[in-house]
Amino acid sequence: MAKIINLAELDIKKAGEAIRSGQFSAHDLTEAYLEKISTRNADLNAYLEVFTDALAQADEVDRKIKAGELSGPLAGIPMAIKDNILIAGRICSSASKMLTTYHATYDATVIAKLKQGGVIFLGRTNMDEFAMGGSTENSAYGPTKNPHDLSRVSGGSSGGSASAVGGDLALVALGTDTGGSIRQPASYCGAVGLKPTYSAVSRYGAMAMASSLDQIGPIAKTIDDAELIFKTIRGQDKFDSTSTDDLATSKIPAKFKIGVPYDLLGAGVTEEVRKNFDETVELLKKQGHEIFPIEMPNLHYSLACYYILMPAEASTNLARFDGVRYGCHVDGQDMIEDYFLSRGAGFGQEVKRRIMLGTYVLSAGYYDAYYGKADALRRLIAEDYRKAFAKVDVLITPTAPSVAFPLGQNTSDPLQMYLEDIFTVPVNLAGVPALSVPTGKNGTGLPFGLQITGPHWSEDLLFALGREIVR
């Protein structure tokens, strides 16, 4: 009979201490999560696959702990992995029909680091197909639902990971973030989500959507857990030339200078989100932190900039999925028809839309008019952040303009769906880090999230201020 463990009360520190003290084993903890998954995943659709060897992984970890071969804080910790991060020998589909039977041939660098720490992988989580979406409704395998309200979205594109953590189907999870895909679902599901500084974490082994924007990061129950995972997976990697080993730490001020770009908090932000944000600002003032209005004029153009650059990179990265080398294959009359039929059958509607947008802005006669101008604007957005951080330590905004919205509400209106990224997208364009922390719930139990953004390599600042907010 499985040992009864209160999963809702656990974080990594408590679970690790209990495993090391013998209160329960990694096997016991993994079994408890598998039982929770068996009762809730049918409703949530957070996992696309639960690994059948999870208990065998746990038994091996227990053996190593007993033999003194493993003693770190992650030994025996069950974790969920987004379905676009490679684990050797396992299916990695990016929630697409294109890769239904694709088995990874190697471990992503972040997976190799977590394996070394003794993490147990519970399964692969649902997502928007090839990370293209903000609600996990674009998955080829059905939407993931919000653990706080099954009629609402979990957010996206890392919605499965956020739902798993928010619904206690995993202690911690990995996601990827190209324009808010860790922070927004973390906000919707009441979790902590970190988008690290670009290049802080190797992207090797993560299926690329937009290579200059993508980052891997944690979704966790607490700030301490997010920090531990980040510090485990960060660092330079010979397989990712953009990664760096800059381990600079920030000096934590006794009282923060906090900037608020109030001109962004206008149309589109719901009344309840604005009220929750203003209450959090007042809390920070009472704690002695200073609040400064900050003007960042180019951030108003972030969405337009992002939805040119991101599809351009995505259309290039997804060109490799041709039905010949790997992936979905449909026979045609010749190789060209094979190619068209395979991509037509393998890709979903949103992926096709972004490939078409990206191909258009990169085409002859339009490259300078669209892509070139967007790339120049990206540098102006980064300069807005540089100027802001010359005056303040961090910036804060809501993570999203609304709480989790109803399933199906925005599926027929892509532009409205894209507007959900208004606060998260600028961060990726500038390459700076941002942390989403929960700031309570509304009257119906739906979580709010606050986004804290800092200069490059200031994750320590984000964690420190986040602890002031989440107690």
Q: Which residues are tagged catalytic? A: 82, 157, 181
Closest CA relative to residue 160, chosen from 132, 180, 139: 139
Report the distance separating Cα 27 and Cα 20, nearest Å.
Answer: 13
Contact 396, 427 (CB under 8 A): no
Three-class SS of residue 238? Answer: coil
Q: Are 92 and 126 in contact (CB under 8 A)?
A: no
CA distances from 183 to 217, 338, 430 (A): 10, 38, 16
Q: Rounded to whole angstroms, how far apart are CA atoms 317 and 313?
A: 6
User: How would you classify residue 268: left for phi > 0, otherwise alpha for psi between -120 and 50, otherwise beta?
Assistant: left
Picking from 347, 361, 346, the residue whose alpha carbon sits closest to that of residue 305 is: 361
Q: How far apart are CA 327 and CA 345, in angstroms?
A: 11
Cα–Cα nearest to 90, from 118, 59, 62, 48: 48
The bridge status of strand 120-125 relative to strand 78-82 is parallel
- CA angle centred on 449, ends 448 and 453, rounded to 5°: 160
